[in-house]
Amino acid sequence: MVDLVSQYEHIQEEIDAAMLNVVRSAAYIRGAELSAFEEELASYLGVEHVISCGNGTDALQIALMALGLNAGDEIITTSFTFIATVEVISLLGLTPVMVDVEPGTFNIDPSKIEEAITEKTKVILPVHLYGQCADLDKIMDIAERHNLYVIEDTAQAISADYTFADGSTKKAGTIGNIGCTSFFPSKNLGCFGDGGAMFTNDDDLASQMRMIANHGMKVRYYHEVIGVNSRLDNLQAAVLRIKLQRLDDYREARNTVATHYDAAFDGVSQLETPERNLNSTHAFHQYTLKCKGIERNALRDYLAEHEIPSMIYYPVPLHQQKAFEVTGKEQKSLPVTEELSEQVISLPIHTEMDDEQLERITTCVLDFINSQ
């Protein structure tokens, strides 16, 4: 699905030198590389604070912990996402309230949010799925009117730009109170292991999150709150500093692949190409088709027989997972989410794809369609 070896080979000299530099310095934790990376990412995003942590799941957990919520408080989010989004809500004794998504963009349907709000609702947690922002104009408006926090799960959408109705543009993850991302290797800004970060323009939330990520202490061995141990190390920061310089180029490369797929599948009635939210650019973490009137799993098997990888993100919506059988709140059925989980298929997309590979993939998909 991604080619991390080729990507590394293109920047190998720079990466090797930077990593060796960290190894020789023996500053592995909380060193200059880390501070430099946090500052450079903050400047790229146009946000006041970047607080790094151990992974994207921790980022979401620390963000929720920083809001001072009470057990049973409700968090409105979606079911059509990676488990991490909802897992941390339950883990903290909060109550996930999963609402349906839009069939075109796969993102939270703003028209379903208000009917889910109760006096216990404290947070709206949109996921910018596959690399494209949810409808933040509407989400921010609802949040303001109901006095709710917004935490953006931007693990798949770092580098995407959102343009508001008033014409102003901001980076994904810098619009709500807190944005959370992941530097998992296959993410759009990936390191060589685990990593994550929170973004915010709020000084108090920033210092709270820094404290929570560091065992609840500001001054060493004086613990103000129960925190966690979650940090990005300097080797990862050194890698990320180099990749951050290329993040926009990487996004362009992914968009070129998406445009090629769009053109190849244009007019094929059995495949629906991904709809664009006109207010958001797309980081194309995934290129995801919807299958109409063909067996999605048969297409997947056919591709596998021809050694073409594909993935289903996600085959079982979270509200139907065994782990969420007891969420503390009766979960309504989510017809759009349930249908999508049977229709979607994601094709390989990464920064190193060439025309020959693309041709082979699209030809194979179209061969399957024509054989039906």
Question: Is residue 289 within 8 Å of residue 265, measured between CB atoms?
Answer: yes
> Which window, 39-47, 52-60, 233-241, 321-329, contacts ligand PLP (CB under 6 A)?
52-60
Shortest separation between residue 168's beta carbon and ligand PLP, angstroms: 25
Shortest separation between residue 56's beta carbon and ligand PLP, angstroms: 2
85 belongs to the binding site for ligand PLP (CB under 6 A): yes
156 belongs to the binding site for ligand PLP (CB under 6 A): yes
Q: How many CB atoms lie within 10 A of CB 48?
A: 13
Instruction: CB nearer to ligand PLP: give 88 or 97.
Output: 88
Q: What are the backbone dihedrals phi and psi of residue 161, each rounded to the nearest 5 degrees, phi first?
A: -110, 135
What does the per-residue mask of binding to ligand PLP show for 191-230, with x meaning CB under 6 A?
A: ---x-x----------------------------------
Single out the residue of 8, 44, 184, 192 in contact with ligand PLP (rule: CB under 6 A). Answer: 184
Shortest separation between residue 81's beta carbon and ligand PLP, angstroms: 5
Single out the residue of 155, 235, 264, 291 in contact with ligand PLP (rule: CB under 6 A). Answer: 155
Instruction: CB nearer to ligand PLP: give 73 or 194.
Output: 194
Residue 339: which of 26, 146, 115, 101 has the closest Cα? 101
Strand partners, 291: 271
Give dist(CA 114, CA 23) in Å, integer.
51
- CA 260 → CA 88, 188, 287, 356, 361, distances in Å? 37, 19, 11, 12, 11
176 belongs to the binding site for ligand PLP (CB under 6 A): no
Angle CA 130–134–137, to nearest 5: 160
Burial (CB count within 10 angstroms: exposed 0-12, middle 13-18, buried 19+), residue 12:
exposed
57 belongs to the binding site for ligand PLP (CB under 6 A): yes
Single out the residue of 80, 82, 287, 314 in contact with ligand PLP (rule: CB under 6 A). Answer: 82
Single out the residue of 74, 102, 109, 153 in contact with ligand PLP (rule: CB under 6 A). Answer: 153
96 belongs to the binding site for ligand PLP (CB under 6 A): no
> Which window, 15-23, 34-42, 151-159, 254-262, contacts ligand PLP (CB under 6 A)?
151-159
78 belongs to the binding site for ligand PLP (CB under 6 A): no
Instruction: CB nearer to ligand PLP: give 52 or 270.
Output: 52
Strand partners, 180: 153, 198
346 belongs to the binding site for ligand PLP (CB under 6 A): no
Query: Residue written as tokens 């939270």?
Result: 108
Strand partners, 200: 49
Angle CA 165–171–177, to nearest 5: 85
> Which window, 31-39, 55-63, 208-216, 296-304, contacts ligand PLP (CB under 6 A)?
55-63
Question: Is residue 313 within 8 Å of residue 363, measured between CB atoms?
Answer: no
Q: DSSP per residue over 10-35, as a string?
A: HTHHHHHHHHHHHHHHT--SS-HHHH
- Under the rule (CB under 6 A), what is the footprint of ligand PLP? 55-57, 81-82, 84-85, 127, 153, 155-156, 182, 184, 194, 196
